[in-house]
Chain A
Amino acid sequence: MATLDYVWLGVLAVFQGPELFSILGLPIPVTLLMILCGFLLGIVVGATPGLAGPVAMAISLPILISVFGYTPDALLPVMGCLIGIMKGATIGGAVPAILFNTPGTPDAFMTTLDGYPMAQQGNAKKALRVAHFASVSGDTFSDIVLVICAPFLALLVEGYLDLPEKTALLILSLSFIAAAVGGSPAKGLISTGLGLLVAFIGTGADFYPRLSMGTEALSQGIALGPAILGVLIIGAVFHELAGQWRHKEVVSCAQPQNEIGSDRLSLGDIRKLLPYIGRSAIVGTVVGALPGIGSTLAATIGYTMGRRRHHKIGKPGDPAFGEGAMEGIAATEAANSSVSGANLIPVLSLGIPGNTAAVFLILAADSIGGFNPGPSVFKFTTDTVNPELVIAFGLFTAMFVANFLNWTIGGIFMRSMGIMARVPRQLLLPVVLILTLTAIYVQETRLEVIWFTLAFGLLGYGMRLLSISPLPFVIAFILGGKLESTARQAFDATGSDPFFLFNNPIAAVFMLLSIAIIFLASHRKPEQK
């Protein structure tokens, strides 16, 4: 089979997959419908302060698996829905940021700087249109880069890296994530160490499950769901609840002013915005391709670059950045949205999740089976069909379908979601808590997992309290088993060479880089952090 045949099979897997129902004789494929559902749900949760894409993904995953089962046919509808949520939440986050000065998602914080002043000046709808246009443009650009880069990177890894180099690459990724996430390499290392430790409990090659303290509960190892959802979702809910309790916040939303002037984007406006969107999209894509670096950093860099450009070429009378410049919204939204597609480059090509959305895609693939994200996916076999490659191109197709929805109906749906910012968080968060715990239970059907999830929730809360990012924990927890098995194989394959990570030039470079990254990040001056 040729490369284009695989691309075509992936497209067909989405458009000619299992049919859910038909309208006027036209079959509606289930994957398309799930992408639409996920996309709309994503906009709703993105527009609700206190919720975000990961919460919706955590809740949806067990329901989706219950509906579609554990067969390979379930992969595209389930992962398509998760991709829809990821994209919807990205644009939804701008709604409360612009209308109520409350970012729906953390990466929409920079959008408040110009979005809210625009709303106060009576240009709320125009600000939302700018945010939508910039967000979708950045996202589409990032997806194109993903489709081009991921297969090449995977082929490069498979072609040139052997077991020692792959082990060193995993260590380099962990070290990079520890150094880059959260602004403190020391805390990143602690988070990574905790994640690895939890991954190694109750596992190993020996008959006795290590670190299990002889208990039945620990001897089977820690399941992915309770640990990840506990630290990411329950921990975040505890932290938010504590914030609500401390401030006794009553959500008082400012009323946006009545619209002044046209709310449409003229051709002149678009021409003015495009250079900002283009630069931010490139920044976001580059930042997104590096595992662990979030969209918040991309938004900050994009905004800073945009402000510098605006300061240089801006005309007198144009609103400055921070005072309601639509270029500010465009620079921020294009940067944070272009992270989402590029974030899937390391997960699809290397099997290394770079953000929470990628973590949930791995969780879905792991739960359903039949698809193991990593370099082996992109094996272009000619004599037989590689089903994983078809799924990979199906996922790319799902991303473009979600982009199409985003261009067509995303803006209208997004602009109607202002009401979600009025939902009181102190009522919403406890419901999310029980919803998440129920979702975990229906999958595992043991009360034990609830205790584990609550315990990991406490750990997640403690980490947030100490300003330790939970993302390195989650990524290290996912990669821990893979790191150990690759290292064992590499050790055996090199004839039990204790220096197998340093005898090979590529592996040695990766290892030196791992050490250098931590060293350099630790010695940055405080003002640079």
Chain B
Amino acid sequence: MIKKRLYQDTNFVTGLVFSILALLLLFVWIPLDSDTGLIEKVRRQVAIGDALAPTIAGVFLLIGGGLLMLLERNGDNQPAMDSNSVIFVGRVFAMLVLSFLVMRYAGPLAVELMNALQGSEREYRLLRDTAPWKWIGYVLGGTIAICGTISLTEGRFSPRALVVALLAIAALIAIFDLPFDDLLLPPNGDF
């Protein structure tokens, strides 16, 4: 019963949130973050200012939010909110952010490690298009991303997930890197 009641209010809550966001946009963000108003005078001629277009966007949001609260409040298109699914997607998102951070720093760290072991002074920037250095970050980060997402979805880690991740990353390297001299895999374009 409580759950049903919650579903019935989803449209109202969504409308309320977007109405508040629209009001903040119209009365706080746009006035504070645009240098010209709705209209401006340039050399004695009136022209459209930079604030007008986002104001129209804000009006769309405000009307949409208002209609949702007033006319579609009890509509039959109430989405069923599931907090567990949101938490799951939050976990996948966090895992993806982590894997891309690994992707970003694994290559340079590997070069630093090699420098420490061999006493060399190489830079990752100069090795970013040289195998195997250019693949270290992508393989590690990409494998974590794919294997981690599969494991989170299945609710357990499995060797199959790891094998799928490694095969997929190898295939992606074969698609994007091997045939093209001018393409850089992530994160090598950032160096």
Instruction: List the interface of chain A (C-beta within 8 A of B).
Output: 63, 66-67, 178, 183-194, 196-197, 199-200, 204-208, 210-213, 238, 241-246, 248, 426-427, 429-431, 433-435, 437-439, 441-442, 444-447, 450-451, 454, 457-458, 461, 465-468, 480, 483-484, 487-488, 491-492, 496, 498, 518, 522-523, 526, 529
Known: A426-B154, A447-B186, A523-B71. A246 touches B92 (CB 8 A): no
Could you say which residues of chain A place their CB within 8 Å of the CB of B18?
Answer: 190, 193
The reply to whether A466 and B175 form a contact with Cβ atoms under 8 Å apart is: no
Could you tell me the distance in whole angstroms from the C-beta of A208 to the nearest C-beta in chain B? 4
In the complex the two chains form, what is the Cα distance from A484 to B52 in whole Å? 9
Interface size grouping (class) on chain B: 35 or more
Chain A, Cβ-Cβ closest to B104: A447
Q: Which of B145-180 contact A (CB under 8 A)?
A: 145-146, 149-150, 152-155, 160-161, 164-165, 168-169, 172, 175-176, 180
Binds A, one of B25-33, B106-114, B116-124: B25-33
The reply to whether B76 and A526 form a contact with Cβ atoms under 8 Å apart is: yes
Q: Is B183 an interface residue (CB 8 A)?
A: yes
The reply to whether B168 and A431 form a contact with Cβ atoms under 8 Å apart is: yes
In the complex the two chains form, what is the Cα distance from A26 to B115 in whole Å? 56
In the complex the two chains form, what is the Cα distance from A435 to B168 in whole Å? 9
Could you tell me the distance in whole angstroms from the C-beta of A436 to the nearest C-beta in chain B? 11
Could you say which residues of chain B place their CB within 8 Å of the CB of A199?
Answer: 57
| Contact for A433 among B10, B39, B65, B145, CB less than 8 A | B145
The reply to whether B61 and A189 form a contact with Cβ atoms under 8 Å apart is: yes
The reply to whether A426 and B153 form a contact with Cβ atoms under 8 Å apart is: yes
A-B contact pairs, 26 of them (CB 8 A): A186-B72, A187-B14, A189-B64, A191-B64, A197-B54, A206-B34, A206-B49, A207-B35, A210-B33, A211-B29, A211-B33, A241-B88, A241-B149, A245-B155, A430-B145, A433-B145, A434-B146, A434-B169, A438-B172, A442-B184, A445-B188, A445-B189, A496-B47, A518-B63, A526-B75, A529-B76
The reply to whether B92 and A238 form a contact with Cβ atoms under 8 Å apart is: yes
Could you say which residues of chain B place their CB within 8 Å of the CB of A193?
Answer: 18, 22, 57-62, 64
The reply to whether A465 and B81 form a contact with Cβ atoms under 8 Å apart is: yes
Q: Which of B78-108 contact A (CB under 8 A)?
A: 78-79, 81-82, 84-86, 88-89, 92-93, 96-97, 100, 104
In the complex the two chains form, what is the Cα distance from A212 to B161 in whole Å? 41
Q: Is B68 an interface residue (CB 8 A)?
A: yes
The reply to whether A241 and B92 form a contact with Cβ atoms under 8 Å apart is: yes
In the complex the two chains form, what is the Cα distance from A427 to B161 in whole Å? 7
The reply to whether A442 and B183 form a contact with Cβ atoms under 8 Å apart is: yes
In the complex the two chains form, what is the Cα distance from A437 to B168 in whole Å? 13
In the complex the two chains form, what is the Cα distance from A197 to B149 in whole Å? 31
Q: Is B185 an interface residue (CB 8 A)?
A: yes
Could you say which residues of chain A place their CB within 8 Å of the CB of B46?
Answer: 496
Q: Is B48 an interface residue (CB 8 A)?
A: yes
In the complex the two chains form, what is the Cα distance from A92 to B63 in whole Å? 40
Known: A63-B176, A492-B47. A208 touches B54 (CB 8 A): no
| Contact for B189 among A434, A439, A446, CB less than 8 A | A446
Instruction: List the interface of chain B (C-beta within 8 A of A).
Output: 10-11, 14-15, 18, 22, 25, 29-30, 33-36, 39, 45-51, 53-54, 56-68, 71-72, 75-79, 81-82, 84-86, 88-89, 92-93, 96-97, 100, 104, 142, 145-146, 149-150, 152-155, 160-161, 164-165, 168-169, 172, 175-176, 180, 182-190
The reply to whether B149 and A529 form a contact with Cβ atoms under 8 Å apart is: no
The reply to whether A206 and B76 form a contact with Cβ atoms under 8 Å apart is: no
Known: A248-B155, A430-B149. A187 touches B64 (CB 8 A): yes
Could you tell me the distance in whole angstroms from the C-beta of B27 to the nearest C-beta in chain A? 14
Could you tell me the distance in whole angstroms from the C-beta of A155 to the nearest C-beta in chain B? 29
